Amino acid sequence: MSQVHKATSTDGTTIAYEAYGSGPVAVVVGGAFCDRGAFRDVA
């Protein structure tokens, strides 16, 4: 089960990210009209 984490950038913007799985790290950045579920099978 994954968890959504949040970080705050230097300008105060909240950035949410999800970490799950095992193995090498893959950073996947979606477009404006996608949510994180669209890339779940890719990462």
Taking only the tens of pLDDT, the chain with its 43 residues reads: 678 899 999 999 998 888 878 888 888 887 778 777 777 777 6
Enumerate residues 6+ apart whose C-beta is below 8 A from 3: 18, 19, 20
Number of structural domains the chain divides into: 1
For residues 17 and 5, the answer to whether their CB atoms sit within 8 Å is yes
Segments forming the whole domain that contains residue 14: 3-39
The separation between CA 38 and the C-alpha centre of its own chain, rounded to angstroms, equals 11
**Pick from 11, 17, 13, 14: which is nearest to 29 by CA?**
17
Q: Which helix (H) or strand (E) holds 16?
A: strand 14-19
**pTM of the full predicted structure?**
0.55
